[in-house]
């Protein structure tokens, strides 16, 4: 089965790090991903830019609305993700517990499933 690890980090946290701290955190995450890839558990991984470059698109009354970030109501942001393959729930949780980001963020573990499967709600 496939699981996604979503990294929820506090908005603005990246700005509190020195460049060296930021590079060290990024290097730790890269090494973590490389380790997962080496054992055939990683399908994809990406880091995401901050909310200042984000855009939210919605439809209201049939008309598209576009809202540029940053978003005042946001307390957290998705900072990146790991898409795991060939793992079960317990292994996905164990991997999340070893993720370096768990030291400064929350790692959400979610199985991939069709959006119409009500048992996955």
Statement: the pTM of the whole predicted model exceeds 0.75: yes
Instruction: Give how many domains the chain has, as a whole number.
Output: 1
Measured in degrees and rounded to the nearest 5, phi and psi for residue 24 equal -65, -45
> Alpha-carbon dihedral of residues 27, 43, 15, 109, nearest 10 degrees?
-120
Q: Is residue 121 part of a domain?
A: no
CATH code at 35? 3.30.70.1060
Q: Is residue 43 part of a domain?
A: yes
- Domain span including residue 35: 3-114
| pLDDT tens figures, 28-86 | 999 999 999 999 999 999 999 988 899 999 998 889 999 898 887 888 999 999 999 99
- What pLDDT does residue 121 have? 59
Q: Is residue 73 part of a domain?
A: yes
Q: Is residue 30 part of a domain?
A: yes
Q: Where are the alpha helices (DSSP H) in the chain?
A: 19-38, 89-98
- Tell me the C-alpha distance between 78 and 65, whole Å: 21
Q: Is residue 86 part of a domain?
A: yes
Q: Is residue 119 part of a domain?
A: no
Q: Is residue 66 part of a domain?
A: yes
């Amino acid at each position: 089965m496939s699981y996604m690890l979503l990294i929820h980090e506090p908005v603005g946290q990246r700005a509190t790090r020195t460049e060296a701290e930021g590079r060290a955190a990024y290097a730790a995450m890269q090494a973590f991903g490389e380790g997962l890839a080496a054992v055939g558990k990683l399908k994809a991984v990406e880091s995401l830019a901050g909310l200042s470059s984000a855009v939210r698109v919605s439809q209201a009354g049939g008309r598209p609305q576009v809202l540029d970030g940053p978003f005042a109501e946001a307390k957290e942001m998705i900072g990146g993700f790991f898409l795991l393959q060939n793992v079960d729930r317990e292994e996905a949780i164990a991997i999340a517990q070893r993720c370096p980001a768990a030291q400064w963020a929350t790692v959400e573990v979610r199985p991939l499933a069709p959006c119409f499967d009500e048992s996955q709600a």
